[in-house]
A and B are shown apart, each in its own frame.
Chain A
Amino acid sequence: MTTHQTELRLHVPEPTARPGEEPDFSSLAVPNVDETPKPGIDIPAFDTYPLATGMVRVMANSPVDPPSAAVAKTSAWDPELSTADKLAGYRNMMVTRIIEEQFLMLQRQGKAAFAVRSLGEEAVAVSAAMAVDASTPGYGPGKDMHFPTYRQAGILVANRHSLVEMTCQMLSNTGDRLKGAQLPGLHSVTEAGFFSVSGNLGTQMIQAVGWGMASAIEGKRNVAVAWTGEGATAENDFHSAMVFASVYQPPAILNVVNNQWAISSFQGIAGGMNSPFAQRGIGYGIATLRVDGNDFLAGYAATQWATERARAGYGPTLIEWVTYRAASHSSSDDPSRYRPKNAADSWPLGDPVQRLADHMLATGEVSQAELDQIRAEAESTVEAAVTEAEEMGTIKDGINTPPREMFQHVYATPPPHLVEQAASCGEDLLADLNTGGHDH
């Protein structure tokens, strides 16, 4: 008999660096942009295995790419976007970054109850939303549906949702279309193809699969686009989603945003140490891509591929986005308690906004002055939107919504017990019913 270890102990994964230590991302292998092949959209799911272990990349300008490679190497995944599309992506990421920074400030001023940012990972939601929107004439928001988490506000920006309305929801004010029912940032914007964000993690994954199943049941090609962080892939809903997606092959994209951190738990606590999250897709028999999440063009190309695959009836795709949560988890979180303060600065895949800018400057498509101009416009647009929204009040003002709103949307028609309870708050729901003022 061989004794392998003198003592068996519980294995608890630890990140490579804690506060006070130097960030160490040496375990992340970053392949060159020309290393990952691009198969046809009809590839059998299992044959995507190399894409689940490799990394779809287009822009060879991350901090770990050799400097000379900036424009030299070409990727099979280059979506060959026009300069106008790239600039739209740059603008959408910039607006997302600026408005979320504003939301955090509003929270610090006591004007919003809560705030979440996607700082450092803006390319993920923005590139995906733009790719889905542009994929097929006649589809996009209103036909396709994103099932996001609170960290995909970039979808709303890319899909041209009103920044004023977005801010009103953050402030729980009189302009809040959700009538104060939902935490700031947990938007619901059907016309922007943005499903109601739950707040309970992972539940939207299987709902998106069910939505895609419904599309298939009706013989339609509307695509469901599900979003989760890597931490919530541990939830049973993720696995239900994977099984159902594998069984019924709905038109769906299952996005796992691996931003390395679930509040204070690094991705190893979600089981990411021994194999990339992407490989789980292969295990379920689902086509899988692993993407440089800070590469706007790669994200666009990967989503475009998965959307076309779904639309054509070849079934679902899992996409793991490798990125880094440069921000705190939320306005209630202090990351300096559990990771090195400057960790985001050492992230091998760099900053998504800067990389797209560097790319366009290197190709000579745009000048720094043009980028500066876009930034200035984004800042003034956001400022104007926030100012306008603040005129409709903030949560600091107290109650901005008539109490009846609390009762009205629980059921299509308020049942007697809610009519009675509303009456105890001085609200006459029956009067609303009689005037047709209740919910549809």
Chain B
Amino acid sequence: MATMIEAIRDALGVMMERDKRVVSFGEDAGYFGGVFRCTEGLQQRFGPHRSFDTPISESGIVGAAVGMATYGLRPVAEIQFADYMYPGYDQIVSEAARMRSRSAGEFTAPLVIRMPVGGGIRGGQTHSQSPEALFTHVAGLKTVIPSNPVDAKGLLIASIEDPDPVIFLEPKRLYNGPFDGHHDRPIQPWTGHPMGDLPEGHYSTPLGQANIWRPGADITVLAYGTLVHVAEAAANESGVDAEIIDLRTLLPIDTEAITASIRKTGRCVIAHEATRTSGFGAELSAQVQERCFDYLEAPITRVTGFDTPYPVGLEWVYFPGPDRLVKALKEVMSY
């Protein structure tokens, strides 16, 4: 059994063992092993030239990663919190994402930028954000977000092996256990959860493939990261036979899995923790409307974070928990 932290650490270890080009670095990510411990032991195992601390400079971390990738390495950079990513955003958007295109394939940036996302840890507005839509809007990037340890390892290995830049978002509330949004209940560990049973060694989970997390007949819930577990709780508590699709990769999006499910159920609820307006749910909603209009029996409904900063004191008002999802499921079913 493994936590998501151990799964990520395992993926890094497997890849650094297999491929000398793989290097890992970030703020506090070397000797200490990262504030969430995802890179713990890598420096001791592979040496300081392959796992090291960086200055507190996200533009430096990402910019250096771009340079290393164009040289021929496979850098895996850690941004300590996704909320700290913005100083490095120009290097992601204008440089890493466009390197292949602007040089007609002469220079490429096969790198991975890992960053913890999401709230539910009393992190306030600077440790809780979910900026996935800022990446899915960018041509040339791939954006990945696992919901469990088994996928986290397989997706991270696939991301490191991918020839293009990958943004790897880690829902930090899931690091130590599946979280269904019931914050007032005892914390569940990954121990005993089927997706905490980590296969050993090298395996990869293909990018661009969604996973039917929970099969169902009545309604399709499109979710990713923490909200997969919230949706599962909501399905169980509402009695609605929801089919929960864990998107796993946001770009490229698995359109086939989405349309197949909605053509079956005729109803769609989209759930994410990020702010609502221009969030990734808007893209999902547009695609469902474009591809499944004739099959829809109810309006597409979004359950999301609010268009406010993530407030530490009102965290559980902001967080789209199971109660809000239950309400949405029932409304869509009764339409």
Contacts and interface: CB of A to CB of B under 8 A. Distances in A.
Interface string A184-213: 001011100001101010010111111111
Contacts of B142: 411
Given A196-B106, A217-B23, A240-B60, A409 B101 contact: yes
Contacts of A439: 100, 104-105
A310 to B, nearest CB: 15
Interface in A60-119: none
A137 B11 CA distance: 41
Interface stretch (B87-95, B150-158, B190-198, B325-333): B87-95
Contacts of B106: 177, 188-190, 196
A198 B71 contact: no
B66 A416 contact: no
Given A178-B104, A244-B64, A410-B100, A198 B94 contact: yes
A207 B66 contact: yes
Contacts of B163: 411-413
B208 interface: yes
B64 A213 contact: yes
A401 B142 CA distance: 26
Interface stretch (B49-57, B177-185, B306-314): B49-57
Interface in B213-261: 251-253, 255-256
A136 to B, nearest CB: 18
Contacts of A412: 100, 108, 163-164
B105 A203 contact: no
A214 B72 contact: yes
Interface in B93-126: 94-95, 99-108
B279 interface: no
A210 B50 CA distance: 13
B102 A181 contact: yes
Given A181-B101, A208-B67, A410-B139, A214 B164 contact: no
Interface of B: 23, 49-50, 54-55, 57, 59-60, 63-68, 70-73, 75, 87, 90-91, 94-95, 99-108, 139-140, 142, 163-164, 208, 251-253, 255-256
Interface of A: 145, 147, 177-179, 181-182, 186, 188-190, 195-196, 198, 200, 203, 205-218, 224, 236-237, 240-241, 243-244, 247, 405, 409-413, 415-417, 439-440
Nearest 7 A-B pairs (CB), nearest first? Answer: A210-B67, A206-B63, A210-B64, A240-B60, A415-B252, A214-B71, A207-B67
